[in-house]
Structure 1
């Protein structure tokens, strides 16, 4: 008997699953905190070289608002001037030299950030972006390490370990003595974040019936969006970076209760031949859901004969590129994974570029997450292809349009960036499902796994997009606009998968016809389509 049929018998999304999702969704709030807190802890306050204080003709030393060089005005923040004791201003021809006496920082918005504490400005400015990229690299390492360990030791234990690492290294980062220790601790937080995100989602999905899986996945996204919004309020109240880091990390100690309340995955237990423990959990779930379950179901084992027949030939990631159609589709999907994450975090981490209040912009960007994820529930069933293409076009076009808006129209630029964020967020939600349907069963796990790696590479590069401003102030948004537009054009070359049977082999992709036999359990027929859906969901989750 297929495990999905067991879930239908005991309640695919009953009281047991709803309680489980309370435990799964709560950490999502803190995951959003850690993912986006660098917007505030790594913010660059207005700054001025101390040696320029006595200069007459310059803006008031306490007024840092005129020091930016990104809008065409002279950038005075990184230079001192020879003969600065004179009354002459720099435009009178006094040569500029590098600042040797340190900087003064404006405190109108932040009491302190890692930038003001460790002078990550001017020649050291790239270190700030490098630190964010190293954190994102931690997400990639965590996905590889904790994904493998979860398959071997189970979802629950890896979630517990990841939560423990998250709170330990998160709190430790608040007491870091220098930037390099802080970056190393944040790297460890990033690895733990992947362990929680991936395995909590897997655990919830493996306990949820097929009819509710998409909705259940969206629920966790909503809580991430709620954390996105809540972070703006927390950061507004706490302007010191150490206190803010401590505030988003210390409450995670409460997750110690998960030792007693978080269940294991019965599906994983059965796959690991721990059938007795699995059936005990199934009976417990049925009891909580108020469903009567026939004890004779124990005699019906999960029939994996068909799956073993389909997967009997060993496949590797090289099969993604051996044949022309599969190669074309794989490369396009990998690019879509990359560009979605690249632009999503480029917009999320550089909200100070749009000229509005940083806290208000953060809240608005968080609010955009809710309708963006909701709308995909209505568009996906009509067309995966058109939905992906349309949202990429919306996101890319809006980002590109911001480059034509003067910097003094900050509200207009923020609205366009918000529309861009809306499109990219919706596109990101779609690519998870779309790519799982494009790859055939025999290489689906490999395809999703490589796609996830491409996404993490995009995450690593996203903080570095800020450095493109040295080329042009508009360069980051030009890239954020053109890359999704290219992705929307490439999506035209992908097949439509909505309301169509899922493919099992590479021959299916290349146009061959293959009929799958049905599986029986006590005379009850299990359609091949349902069995394929079960494998596909699991392959998707294991690959994330």
Structure 2
């Protein structure tokens, strides 16, 4: 690989590269925290229908002071299949006879109940206020909570599109990209800058335009042809790589976002689960990078995406009463998805030639953002089955892992510098 020879002269991994990665990590940490905050700002607290005998401050002591709160609740709100107060319905009339059933519960016909006509009462012991309590996004309006999350995450899609045009304001441009886009003088300046920051000033000063042009001669000749994004799909191997990786990124981020913004559905202690996710993410990413040294890109992704998918499915079938086991399973899922993302990002960067890498990765990122934006909408399916969205979130990464096998292996392979390198493989 021609450019690697130039990079070795200025320091392939030194202070310059470390500073660039540090800046990117800071930006990424600020971005992803906004996605995770949805677990708290859009949390759904326990709720029930508002009923006059319990919640009307004007009710007299003679009307409500004799019976306990639980007794009033029993005669005002029907019980669900788990013998807990219904969240979305109440009795049309007070059912006084239920006080004399000694714990048994007689079936109540549909005409005896009605929706929450006068609003809801929320448990504010954990969350004083959320978007759900402010706008009553429960029961018949519960799907609007998913729509609100969709509107929030769609900003990530817009950001991926706009970010490509704004990124050069903040980071040094890639010397490889500058050279391949017929800007060798600027590319030489960036190489010298990197050499100086890496403590290799003498090596940088020895770099000349003649050295750059001679080393990158073949790649520069191939880069003279200007290509549009539409042209990328006219080349069989390149089209295959972009389409397959876009599909993998789509299903991966659909599942990961579905997990990350719906932690409340996995555990009663959302604060503990969120902390555990944060704790395991760093070692999981380190483990993902270490895995790259010992395992092929395809097999690594396949293994991690399988483990992630099965962790989600396992959490689904663990009873709610076994909270510790559910938290462990969900935390493992969070670790596996972090590691899988790391391997996927590396694999995607190694698949495409320099001159169109930014365009190809932009297309793939947009596909991932579309998947992330659609993830909250799948929770609308809970109106049919509470398990259905989680089955989808668990099965999709397994299918994505299988799709990775259709892509070429890039471990210990030279990065392609031109489209011809891809098409002639």
CA distance 1:57–1:404, shift in 2 (3 Å): farther
Aligned mates of 1:117, 1:454 — CA distance in 2: 33
Give CA deviations for 1:365-396 in whole Å, capped at 9, x if unaligned.
12221222111222223311111111111111
Say whether 1:346 aligns with 2:261.
Answer: no
Deviations 1:468-522 (A, max 9, x none): 2222121122112211111222222222221123345666545x36xxxxxxxxx
Q: Is 1:300 paired with 2:314? A: no
Worse-matched range after superposition: 417-426 or 34-43: 417-426
Residue in structure 1 matching 2:279, options 367, 375, 379: 367
Residue equivalent to 2:86:
76
Between the aligned partners of 1:412 and 1:493, the Cα distance in structure 2 is 35
Cα deviation, 1:427-462, whole Å, max 9, x if unaligned, reads 111111212333455654443222111100111012
Query: Which residue, 281, 298, 311 being the options, matches 1:398?
Result: 311
Alignment of 1:111 onto 2:128? yes
- Structure 1 stretch displaced more, 122-131 or 381-390: 122-131
TM-score by length of 1: 0.63
Correspondence for 2:248 among 320, 332, 336: 336
Distance change in 2, residues 1:290/1:307 (3 Å): closer
Q: Which residue of 2 aligns with 1:228?
A: none
- Residue 305 of structure 1 deviates from its aligned partner by 4.7
In structure 1, C-alpha distance between the alignment counterparts of 2:21 and 2:372, rounded to whole Å: 27
Deviation at 1:112?
A: 1.5
Q: Which residue of 2 aligns with 1:460?
A: 373
1:77-92 maps to which residues of 2 (within 5 A)?
77-84=87-94, 91-92=107-108
Match of 2:415 in 1: 502
Aligned residue for 2:48, secondary structure, equals strand
The 2-side partners of 1:80 and 1:147 are apart by: 53
1:136 equivalenced with 2:49 (yes/no): no
TM-score by length of 2: 0.79
Of structures 1 and 2, the one with the larger relative CO (CA 8 A, separation 6+) is 2
Partner in structure 2 of residue 527 of structure 1: none
Q: Distance in 2 between matches of 1:398 and 1:280?
A: 45
Deviation at 1:364, TM superposition (A): 1.1
Q: 2:226 & 2:409 partners in 1: Cα distance? A: 27
1:437 aligns with 2:347: no
SS across alignment from 1:44: coil
Q: Say whether residues 1:44 and 2:78 are aligned partners.
A: no
Matches of 1:491 and 1:277, distance apart in 2? 34
- The residue that corresponds to 1:378 in the other structure is 290
Aligned residue-pair number: 400
Q: 1:13 to 1:435 in 2, by over 3 A?
A: closer
- In our comparison, the structure showing a higher alpha carbon Rg is 2
- Describe the shift of the 1:61–1:351 C-alpha distance in structure 2 as closer, same or farther (beyond 3 A): farther
Query: Do the aligned residues in 1 keep the contact of 2:301 with 2:340 (CA within 8 Å)?
Result: yes
Distance in 1 (CA, whole Å) between partners of 2:15 and 2:410 is: 33
RMSD of aligned C-alpha atoms? 3.9
Q: Unmatched 5+ residue regions in structure 1?
A: 157-202, 211-266, 514-544
Q: How does 1:56-205 map to 2 (within 5 A)?
A: 59=70, 76-84=86-94, 91-93=107-109, 95-150=112-167, 154-156=168-170, 203=171
8 Å contact kept, 1:401–1:416? yes
What displacement does 1:15 show?
4.9
Aligned mates of 1:73, 1:146 — CA distance in 2:
51
| Alignment-derived partner of residue 382 in structure 2 | 469
Residue 423 (1) aligns with residue 332 (2): no
SS of residue matched to 2:51 = helix
Contact kept in structure 2, 1:400 and 1:481, CA below 8 Å: yes
Aligned-partner Cα distance in 1 for 2:351–2:287 = 22
How far off is 1:330 after superposition?
3.4
C-alpha contact 1:46 1:67 (8 A) present in aligned 2: no
Contact map agreement 2:192 2:205 (CA 8 A) in 1: no
Q: Within 5 A, what are the aligned runs for 1:482-493?
A: 482-493=395-406
Per the alignment, residue 479 of structure 1 pairs with 392
CA gap 1:494/1:324 in 2 versus in 1, 3 angstroms: same
d(CA) in 1 for partners of 2:224 and 2:347?
Answer: 25
Q: Is the 8 A contact 1:21 1:204 kept in 2?
A: no
Secondary structure of 2:117 counterpart: coil
2:195–2:204 CA contact under 8 A, matched in 1: no
Check 1:441–1:290 CA distance in 2 against 1; reply closer, same or farther (3 A cut).
closer
Distance 1:114 1:334 in 2: 33
Deviation of 1:5 after TM superposition, in Å, equals 6.6
Distance 1:67 1:82 in 2: 10
Q: Does 1:312 align with 2:312?
A: no
